[in-house]
């Protein structure tokens, strides 16, 4: 990526450079968005050719700081001192000790500093990914944008309960925004912050937030969108561009906690959400009840399994709109056939990975040329990083 001198700025974050969290902070914000939109266009053009793409709509942030709703910090060890931060750029083992993270809300940084201070009180070391010895592993912090409240999952290796309980007590007193603390235990060798067991140590089981008029509660295992400042704009763009009239059957595949389903429920006849993780499905059902929404049904299972023989689309009326929001890898190869077989008038594809998006769009358009790309919008969900969220609407001619 070519950077002009006039586009360079002094990075706001003192950890910029070594920290692997943000790669673009030395570029002014409008140049970041411009360069990401160019990358997106070129990735999609490479797969699809120029003629098929409508002009790219761009939605960036008014204030591109302090926006993250979830951060995963990793513990490290510097001689006798416990450190906590993000992976060093291009390193799986080295941790940059962070005092203040500029993309996280300020109360998350306050909690980050408090955790480090308190961890220093115990004669326990951080987990070492080379030796697999040590206790402290991750601090996963989620924030409610609406209330400013925080949920912490303190993740450790197998070990004693007492220091974690005592840490929870000290942190709950030190950081007023902290309303929920879980202990997550993982003995996994791989570097993923997914606990094998979770135990509520302090405060509420869930935090509450809202998107538009939809209220929802989330727990420590739920998928939450990383940028709550923009997520309402994404959902509203889906609602508006899908031109719902209140009579449609909408299938929301890879629905997480069901937020797109719940957002669209008031504009459709029925919504059907599909999600592989039982805890997300349970939250989707709880969130529907919380909002008095009775026309949403959530199914637990893998999309590629539930689509076999198009069984999923026999649960209700044939789909008028199918929303796809898969993980980074994109659609499973077995999804495409039954998806196209449903001949839905509209497909919406929401993606955090332009490469898998381009690949999937190419397959969809080649296998059913009666679809065309009507609309593409890029949302700058991840300012100062190379990542982005993309919304594509396909209509069937
Ligand atoms: C990007 S998130 C979706 C978020 C949701 N649409 C929202 O806006 O909050 C992708 C979701 O797909 C789920 N998932 C991953 N693989 C799946 C599969 N094969 N079938 C169904 N769900 C899957 C994940 O658990 C995750 O909740």
pTM: 0.95
pLDDT at 290 exceeding the cut of 80: yes
pLDDT at position 187, please?
Answer: 86
Contact (Cβ atoms closer than 8 angstroms) between residue 141 and residue 219? no
Q: Is 22 a catalytic site residue?
A: no
The percent of residues above 70 in pLDDT, for the chain, comes to 99
Choose the residue to mutate in 233, 255, 259, 265 for probing ligand 1, maximizing ligand atoms within 8 Å of C-beta.
255
Report the C-alpha gap between 60 and 62 in whole angstroms: 7
Architecture of domain 70-210: Beta Barrel (2.40)
Backbone angles phi, psi at 323, to 5 degrees: -105, 130
Q: Is residue 110 within 6 Å of ligand 1 at its C-beta?
A: no
- CATH code for the domain defined by 39-61+227-396: 3.40.50.150
Report the C-alpha gap between 71 and 69 in whole angstroms: 7
Residues 256-266 have a mean pLDDT of 98
Choose the residue to mutate in 145, 223, 227 for probing ligand 1, maximizing ligand atoms within 8 Å of C-beta.
223
- 178-218 pLDDT per residue, tens: 999 999 999 888 878 889 999 999 999 999 999 999 999 99
Q: Minimal CA–CA distance to 164: which of 95, 118, 196?
A: 118
Residue 119 CA to ligand 1 center (angstroms) comes to: 34
Catalytic residue among 22, 101, 255, 352: 352
Choose the residue to mutate in 261, 275, 333 for probing ligand 1, maximizing ligand atoms within 8 Å of C-beta.
275
Q: Is residue 302 within 6 Å of ligand 1 at its C-beta?
A: yes
Q: Indicate the domain borders of the chain.
A: 39-61+227-396, 70-210
Report the C-alpha gap between 49 and 59 in whole angstroms: 23
pLDDT at 263 exceeding the cut of 80: yes
Nearest ligand 1 atom to alpha carbon 280: 27
Cα–Cα distances (Å) from 267 to 42, 210, 244, 271, in that order, read 35, 18, 6, 10
Q: How far is CA 73 from the centre of its chain?
A: 15
pLDDT at 277 exceeding the cut of 70: yes
Report the C-alpha gap between 266 and 73 in whole angstroms: 38
Residue 256 CA to ligand 1 center (angstroms) comes to: 5
Would you list the DSSP string of 162-211? HHHHHHHHHHHHH-TTEEEEEEEE---SSS----SEEEEEEE-S-EEEEE
Choose the residue to mutate in 217, 283, 326, 328 for probing ligand 1, maximizing ligand atoms within 8 Å of C-beta.
326
Report the C-alpha gap between 381 and 62 in whole angstroms: 12
Report the C-alpha gap between 162 and 156 in whole angstroms: 12
pLDDT at position 325, please?
Answer: 98
Residues 293-303 have a mean pLDDT of 98
Q: Is residue 165 within 6 Å of ligand 1 at its C-beta?
A: no
Residue 312 CA to ligand 1 center (angstroms) comes to: 16
Q: Which residues of 203-218 are buried (b: 16+ CB within 10 A; e: fewer)?
A: beebbbbbbeebebbb
Nearest ligand 1 atom to alpha carbon 234: 8
Backbone angles phi, psi at 292, to 5 degrees: 65, 30
The protein residue with its alpha carbon nearest to ligand 1, atom 13, reads 254
Nearest ligand 1 atom to alpha carbon 352: 1
Report the C-alpha gap between 283 and 348 in whole angstroms: 23
Q: Is residue 204 within 6 Å of ligand 1 at its C-beta?
A: no
- 80-90 pLDDT per residue, tens: 999 999 999 98
pLDDT at 366 exceeding the cut of 80: yes
Provide the 3-class DSSP secondary structure of residue 142: strand
Q: Which two tokens stand for residue 325?
A: 């929001």
pLDDT at 149 exceeding the cut of 80: yes
Contact (Cβ atoms closer than 8 angstroms) between residue 21 and residue 102? no
Q: Is residue 327 within 6 Å of ligand 1 at its C-beta?
A: yes
Report the C-alpha gap between 2 and 230 in whole angstroms: 27
pLDDT at position 347, please?
Answer: 98
Q: How far is CA 29 from the centre of its chain?
A: 21
How would residue 104 be classed by pLDDT, with cut points 50, 70 and 90?
very high
pLDDT at position 50, please?
Answer: 82
Report the C-alpha gap between 70 and 50 in whole angstroms: 36
Residues 16-25 have a mean pLDDT of 94
Cα–Cα distances (Å) from 152 to 66, 200, 203, 274, 324, in that order, read 17, 10, 10, 27, 30
Residues 23-51 have a mean pLDDT of 94
pLDDT at 1 exceeding the cut of 90: no
pLDDT at 78 exceeding the cut of 90: yes
Residue 279 CA to ligand 1 center (angstroms) comes to: 12
∠235-238-244 over CA atoms, to 5°?
120
Q: How far is CA 99 from the centre of its chain?
A: 24
pLDDT at 289 exceeding the cut of 70: yes
Q: Minimal CA–CA distance to 103: which of 119, 85, 89?
A: 85
Residue 63 CA to ligand 1 center (angstroms) comes to: 28
Residues 352-379 have a mean pLDDT of 97
Residue 178 CA to ligand 1 center (angstroms) comes to: 27
Q: Which residues contact 318 (CB under 8 A, 6 or more apart)?
A: 249, 342, 343, 344
* DSSP bridge pairs for 86: 96
Residue 223 CA to ligand 1 center (angstroms) comes to: 8
- 131-141 pLDDT per residue, tens: 999 999 999 99
């Amino acid at each position: 990526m070519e950077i002009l001198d006039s586009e360079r700025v002094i990075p706001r974050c003192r950890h910029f450079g070594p920290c692997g969290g943000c790669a673009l902070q030395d570029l002014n914000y409008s140049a970041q968005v411009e360069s990401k939109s160019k990358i997106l266009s070129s990735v999609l053009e490479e797969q699809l050719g120029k003629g098929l793409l409508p002009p790219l709509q761009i939605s960036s942030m008014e204030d591109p700081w302090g926006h993250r709703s979830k951060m995963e910090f990793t513990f490290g060890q510097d001689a006798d001192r416990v450190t906590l931060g993000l992976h060093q750029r291009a390193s799986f083992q080295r941790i940059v000790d962070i005092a203040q993270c500029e993309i996280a809300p300020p109360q998350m940084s306050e909690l980050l500093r408090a955790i480090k201070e308190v961890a220093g009180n115990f004669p326990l070391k951080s987990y070492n990914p080379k030796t697999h010895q040590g206790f402290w592993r991750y601090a996963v912090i989620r924030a409610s944008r609406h209330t400013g409240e925080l949920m912490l999952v303190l993740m450790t290796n197998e070990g004693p309960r007492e220091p974690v309980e005592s840490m929870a007590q000290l942190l709950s007193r030190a950081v007023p925004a902290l309303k929920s603390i879980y202990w997550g235990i993982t003995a996994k060798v791989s570097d993923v912050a997914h606990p094998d067991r979770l135990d509520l140590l302090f405060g509420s089981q869930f935090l509450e937030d809202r998107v538009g008029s939809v209220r929802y509660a989330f727990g420590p295992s739920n998928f939450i969108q990383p940028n709550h400042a923009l997520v309402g704009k994404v959902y509203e763009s889906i609602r508006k561009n899908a031109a719902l009239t209140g009579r449609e059957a909408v299938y929301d595949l890879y629905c997480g906690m069901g937020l797109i389903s719940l957002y669209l429920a008031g504009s459709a006849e029925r919504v059907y959400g599909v999600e592989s993780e039982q805890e997300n499905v349970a939250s989707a059902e709880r969130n529907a009840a919380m909002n008095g929404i009775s026309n949403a049904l959530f199914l637990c299972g893998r999309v590629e399994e539930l689509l076999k023989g198009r069984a999923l689309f026999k649960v209700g009326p044939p789909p008028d709109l199918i929303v796809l929001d898969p993980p980074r890898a994109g659609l499973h190869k077995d999804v495409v056939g039954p998806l196209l077989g449903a001949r839905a008038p509209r497909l919406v594809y929401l993606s955090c990975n332009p490469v898998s998006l381009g690949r999937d769009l190419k397959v969809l358009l080649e296998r059913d040329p009666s679809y065309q790309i009507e609309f593409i919008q890029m949302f700058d969900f991840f300012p100062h990083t190379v990542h982005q969220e993309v919304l594509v609407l396909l209509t069937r001619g």
